[in-house]
Amino acid sequence: MKETIVFVHGMCHGSWCWEEQFVPYFEKLGYNCITFNLPGHETEGSTRRISYSLSDYVQALRNEVENLNEPPIIIGHSMGGMIVQHFLRTGSCKKAVLVSSVPPSGVLLASLRVIFHYPRVIPYLLLRNLLGAFKKYPHLMLNKAILIERYAHRMCAESFRAYLGLLIPISQPSSTPILVLGGSKDGLITVREFASTANYYKAKLTIIEGGSHDLMLDEDYEKSAQAIEKWI
């Protein structure tokens, strides 16, 4: 058995997003894979309003890591990438992979960019309904109609408190070995922001040509999985 990988999902997602393709891929390679649902994300497609802080999510990751006999490799997607960055301020792991991650500078620029290009998200934000915004514009995460049909309905309500926590920048970089992985067709985070994240952590940067925000759910997810496995 190789190392243990802990997967941290992002906003409006759940452990299911890893279990579709990434977990079978890495288990076949011999890795012990651990997925978990952040608080309030246990039910796919749930529209029930939840209210958790980003710190609550970081603690959920910390709980998973503390149950292990040795430090794992941690892979975090989108908001999950920011959760990993906060975790590394006090916790430790062998290596970390930030997939389509919120940059250490926070999510403000990405939010303003979405509002500028898609002003109809504003009513959803005023109602603190992040799930509604993503259902209105699912292509922000998934870049093909077949993927939207397959996965968009599985997304669940997100805590607006946690979103507000994403606006706060990371105050100091981690020395943990980090891979920054992003898609060239990401609808939320730009390639320039991925490069900025890599520069901040002095990390390796890999851009998947044509990749969406949800790289682990793309039809050619193997490109992302192979890039991670090669770096590990």
pLDDT band at 157 (very low <50, low <70, confident <90, very high): very high
Average pLDDT over all residues of the chain: 97
Q: What is the pLDDT of residue 9?
A: 98
Q: What is the pLDDT of residue 106?
A: 97
23's tokens: 């977990």
pLDDT surpasses 90 at 161: yes
Q: What is the pLDDT of residue 77?
A: 98
Instruction: Give the list of residues 6+ apart from residue 5 with CB closer than 8 angstroms, or none.
Output: 26, 31, 32, 33, 34, 72, 73, 74, 75
pLDDT surpasses 70 at 165: yes
pTM of the model: 0.97
Nearest 5°: the CA angle 38, 16, 218 is 120
Instruction: Give the list of residues 6+ apart from residue 12 with CB closer than 8 angstroms, or none.
Output: 130, 131, 134, 155, 156, 157, 158
Number of folded domains that form the chain: 1
What share of the chain in percent tops pLDDT 70?
100
Alpha carbons 217 and 70: distance in angstroms, whole number: 29
The residue range of the domain holding 93 is 4-231
pLDDT surpasses 80 at 1: no
CATH number at residue 221: 3.40.50.1820
Per-residue model confidence as pLDDT tens digits over 49-80: 999 999 999 999 999 999 999 999 999 999 99
pLDDT surpasses 70 at 225: yes
pLDDT band at 131 (very low <50, low <70, confident <90, very high): very high
Q: What is the pLDDT of residue 193?
A: 98
Strand ranges (DSSP E) for the chain?
4-8, 32-35, 73-77, 95-99, 178-183, 204-208
Per-residue model confidence as pLDDT tens digits over 75-129: 999 999 999 999 999 999 999 999 999 999 999 999 999 999 999 999 999 999 9
Q: What is the pLDDT of residue 2?
A: 82
Q: What is the pLDDT of residue 171?
A: 86
